[in-house]
């Protein structure tokens, strides 16, 4: 069995070797790459269209709220899959009863549906 300090020593050697490898790779990259500077390479390129005006544009807040709602319901789906796998294995011998698991998940879904109804009532989901 290795000692406590030997484990940290191994980690320190790994960090040093990683840093040295990074430095060697970046140095070789700089030495081997072609360097042909030109004024055209310094221009801004975006989809072949010349940039006109400033880069600032005002965005409607509804897009962000809609995206936030999507993330919330996406997370709900992530919670539903493991629950669906585990709830099939529950029986009277497990610490959690199947009825408790089903009720808990329905309360979770009802809470999210309440949030969806609130957003719908506020008009967040309507597009102009």
**Cα–chain-centroid distance for residue 96?**
31
Give the pLDDT score at 51: 65
Q: Same domain for 31 and 73?
A: no
Q: How many domains in the chain?
A: 2
Is 106 part of any domain? yes
Give the pLDDT score at 80: 86
| Domain that residue 115 falls in | 61-122
Half-sphere exposure for 122 (CA within 13 Å, toward CB): 10
Q: Same domain for 65 and 115?
A: yes
Is 21 part of any domain? yes
Is 97 part of any domain? yes
Give the pLDDT score at 40: 78
Give the pLDDT score at 73: 82
Give the pLDDT score at 88: 82
Give the pLDDT score at 89: 83
Q: Same domain for 72 and 117?
A: yes
Q: Same domain for 27 and 75?
A: no
Specify whether the CB–CB gap between 119 and 66 falls below 8 A.
no
Give the pLDDT score at 15: 97
Is 54 part of any domain? no
**Cα–chain-centroid distance for residue 69?**
15
Q: Which residues are CB-contacts of 98 (< 8 A; sequence separation ≥ 6)? A: 87, 90, 91
User: pTM to 2 decimals?
Assistant: 0.48
Give the pLDDT score at 6: 84
Q: Same domain for 31 and 66?
A: no
5 burial (CB, 10 Å; 0-12 / 13-18 / 19+) is exposed
Sites in the chain below the pLDDT cut of 50: none
Give the pLDDT score at 31: 94
What pLDDT, in 10s, does the model give residues 15-27? 999 999 999 999 9
Q: Same domain for 105 and 70?
A: yes
Tell me the torsion sign for CA atoms 56, 50, 63, 80: negative
Give the pLDDT score at 86: 86
Q: Which residues are CB-contacts of 44 (< 8 A; sequence separation ≥ 6)? A: 51
Q: What angle do CA 74, 78, 81 make, to 5 degrees?
A: 135
DSSP letter, residue 43: S
Q: Same domain for 116 and 65?
A: yes
Is 31 part of any domain? yes
């Amino acid at each position: 069995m290795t000692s406590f300090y030997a484990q940290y020593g191994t980690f320190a050697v790994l960090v040093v070797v990683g840093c040295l490898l990074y430095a060697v790779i970046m140095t070789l990259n700089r030495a081997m790459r072609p360097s042909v500077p030109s004024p055209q390479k310094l221009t801004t390129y975006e989809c072949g269209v010349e940039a006109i005006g400033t880069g600032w544009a005002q965005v409607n807040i509804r897009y962000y709220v809609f995206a936030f709602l999507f993330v919330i319901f996406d997370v709900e789906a992530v919670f539903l899959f493991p629950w669906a796998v585990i709830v099939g294995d529950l029986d009277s011998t497990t610490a959690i009863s199947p009825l408790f698991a089903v009720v808990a998940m329905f309360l979770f879904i009802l809470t999210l549906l309440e949030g969806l109804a609130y957003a719908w009532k506020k008009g967040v989901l309507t597009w102009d």
